[in-house]
A and B are shown apart, each in its own frame.
Chain A
Amino acid sequence: MKSYLSITKYTILVCTALLITACSKEPVKQPDSEKSQALVLLRGLPTLDTKHSVAIIELDPESAKFGEILQDYELSNLAEPLHHLYYSPTGRLYATGLDINCSLAEIKLVRDLNGAPLIKGHHCLDTQGQVIGEDIMWHTSNGKEYMFVTFMGGGGLDQADGGSVGVFDPQTNDVVKIISARKSQVDAGKPYIMYPHGISAYKDRMVIASTIHPDLKTGVGSTITIIDLNSLSPIETITVEDAKPVGFPSSPVEVLFVRPSIVENVKPGVLVNTMFGFETWYIPFNEADKTFAEPVKIYNGVDEGTGVPLEFYGTKDELFISHAIPGVVKRYKLSSLPELVSSGPDIKAELGAHHMIFYPSSSGRKLIAVQNNLLNLGNQADNDPTDIDFIAKVNDHSLTIHDLTSSKRLKTINFKEKYNKGIENIEALFGSGFIHHH
């Protein structure tokens, strides 16, 4: 009799619970703010059995989802990962790539039934054999807009002095022209293009930086080359080097044509970060006769205790330069350029401090996220076949999130520990500031 009663009571309890559940109102779900979401390019690590991918990640330290990958779109057919993300002026998403079969790609983003962003596919573009895509810039010349892409490997990795700039139709992605001028194939003293990486432009002058052969051993550059955008051909190569603190050529990596659209009333000129020179240089530009003056060193990393300067990024009033060693981002007053006048304390990130994004938290706090990896290659200690000792030391595989006002670090995400992957690049879901690499 007791068990009969128990069953009856249990039935009453279960039915009541089911009815209460059915009648209860679902809470109103507020959508996640997308301003704190980012796109990241992730590198699968061979010893950890992971695949390269493009992912959407939540970076609001105030969110319960902080550090969560919201979507991981695997690039299972690529031997090497995608490298840098860029939004075109019309909102199309592109990525350069390190895989020789996918050196430039367009990525399709849509929205799903819940309104959330969704990476729906990618399409590797025809580059007419140009490999190892690095940076992209959209720029108008003679009333026509082009998409310019630097290919650090040029026509093939077997070229010891390769490198090119691809000029694409920004609508159709078709190649308009490949600008190349290998040092071995031009007369002595003539301008050449070798291992181009950084790219920037002002009016009809474009500047590209000669960095390093993609295999990281065949050769290292020490110059920048000026391209006349009227003829789409190189017109001058300028050496940017003096001391060699680590014995290598200076390896100019990123360039920024400082121009009035960035700094009001500024006299145009080019800033150059030299990866192995540990320096930042300034090359004044005479707009009247379109000549470039002798480069002037304006920052010496050896004196300042920093090495491997990499990126230029900007907000509306500051310029940020990342230094992979010891892993800091230095900040400067934009209005003082080309002088580098400090605008705040260093942002202490991690070894490999490289790309960055700026975004607000849900409470409106201004934040910066710094991606800390020079090249994401592996470490012999992990039995990783991609090991290159020097590079391995400047790969922290992390994102550090800092308060933009105080520079104070708030959070860290280590991708290797959390997702068994490296992080190659980061871009805000809605794009970066107005400078962004160039």
Chain B
Amino acid sequence: MKIKQACYLLLAVTLMIVTAEYYQSKPRPTALNGFSAPFVYGQFTTPQNNPLTNEAVALGRRLFYDPLLSGNNKLACSHCHQQKLAFTDGMKNSMGVSLKPLSFNTPSLVNLMWGPQHFFWDGRVNSLEEQALLPIINVDEMDQNLDELIDELKAVEQYQRLFSKAYGAINKQNIAKALSAFQRTLISANSKYDQFLAGTIKLTDEEEFGRKLFVAHPDVKASLRGGNCIDCHSQFLTSGFNTKYDGFTNNGLDNEEQLLPGLQAVTGKPEHKGLFKVPSLRNIALTAPYMHDGRFNTLAQVMDHYNEGIKLSSTLSPLIVEANNIVNGNKKKPSLNLSMEEKKAIVAFLHTLTDEQFIINTKFSDPFLQEIKIE
């Protein structure tokens, strides 16, 4: 009987200690202060196990700017995703620790909660959390061993404290969660065009002309001239729709022989060959060079491509094939046939999508620099 009582007592005490320790160590993050997103961007969700909290975002921001995340401790995520360039790097092909040019142009990080939830140009991952670690372990990008990274982070007292408050343990899942939480807060909603939508400013005549062309699919019968932009960039303020692979297209950059696999590498479907993710056009004037491989240096060159440089292939978007501003256009040589003035107007409109506040917002900037300034 006494042995039974002793066992019960021992079990009870053990459980009390374990329970107390668990609840004492469990982080109590707080809902992100001051969050607000434009209604018109549409519904968004955050993973149930990674809500937007002050602690997660603060941690993610620090990690994003910390070169500790790379194998040689020299490159942070911000090396390729620079705030002043709307989180791009201005390079045709980015270069990481290996100094080898990467295959693709760095995409902008903005309004990531909207649009296709398939990340990278070919859409190979389905969540920001999944995406976050891949550049870190890529040998040409940051070339970091995650176990080593965890050890390095554990050795920094501030990270012990930040992880403890945000998630608890320092592990790769929580590194990914923190980076994702920070990136989700990179919301841009105060460009000249946003202000136009809110009614606080007016566009110039040229910008307004460009806006009309941007949103119009050309219809020769109705004498409607159009730039055909909106057919693919339908939700151009964010990143498009989030329905399956709607936000992927072949925009005529290459002929059949030169088509890269693109989305086909993910889905295996022949009809997805050469399809790449349609990027957000927000801050587009800051994110040159353009296209998934950075082949165009200027927006004028991009306009020239759509106007007269489309290359035919089996998966070329039909919306591009049939868009023409002249009667009986040559389907074998798709062209918008826009005038110089029209192309200039569209570019002028694209410049209204630049959010000057976004690129200097201290909530998104390097916390290490801010700490130096404070010191």
Contact = CB atoms under 8 A, between A and B. Distances in A.
A19 B22 contact: yes
A16 interface: yes
Contact of A22 (B15, B26, B49, B51): B26
21 contacts: A9-B12, A11-B15, A12-B15, A15-B19, A18-B19, A18-B22, A18-B23, A22-B26, A31-B45, A91-B40, A92-B199, A106-B199, A109-B39, A111-B43, A111-B44, A113-B51, A115-B44, A117-B39, A120-B36, A171-B201, A172-B199
Interface string B17-49: 011001100100001100111111101111011
B159 to A, nearest CB: 24
B36 A110 contact: yes
A12 B8 contact: yes
Contacts of A171: 196, 199, 201-202
B231 to A, nearest CB: 19
* Size bracket, chain B contacts: 35 or more
Contact of A15 (B15, B35, B38): B15
Nearest to A11: B12
Contacts of A173: 199
B224 interface: no
Contacts of B9: 8
B15 A16 contact: yes
Nearest to B8: A8
Given A109-B39, A113-B35, A170-B199, 11 more contacts: A5-B8, A9-B8, A11-B12, A16-B15, A91-B197, A92-B197, A92-B199, A111-B39, A114-B46, A171-B196, A172-B202
A113 B31 CA distance: 8
B339 to A, nearest CB: 19
A120 B48 CA distance: 25
Contacts, number: 89
A418 interface: no
Interface of B: 5, 8-9, 11-12, 15-16, 18-19, 22-23, 26, 31-32, 35-41, 43-46, 48-49, 51-52, 113, 196-202
Chain B binding site: helix, strand, loop or mixed by DSSP? mixed
Interface residues of A, number: 37
Interface in A97-122: 106, 109-118, 120
Contacts of B16: 11, 15
Nearest to B16: A15
Given A5-B8, A15-B15, A115-B43, A29 B22 contact: no
A26 interface: yes
B35 A112 contact: yes
Interface of A: 1, 4-5, 8-9, 11-12, 15-16, 18-19, 22, 26-29, 31, 34, 90-92, 106, 109-118, 120, 170-173
A410 to B, nearest CB: 24
Contact of A110 (B11, B37, B48, B201): B37
Contact of B41 (A1, A22, A111, A113): A111
A92 B198 contact: yes
Contact of B32 (A12, A113, A120): A113
* Most chain B Cβ neighbours within 10 Å, of A16, A113, A118: A113
Given A171-B196, A172-B199, A12 B41 contact: no
A92 B52 CA distance: 27
Contact of A111 (B32, B36, B197, B200): B36
Contacts of B52: 113
A111 B37 contact: yes
A19 B19 CA distance: 6
A62 to B, nearest CB: 18
* Most chain A Cβ neighbours within 10 Å, of B41, B45, B51: B45
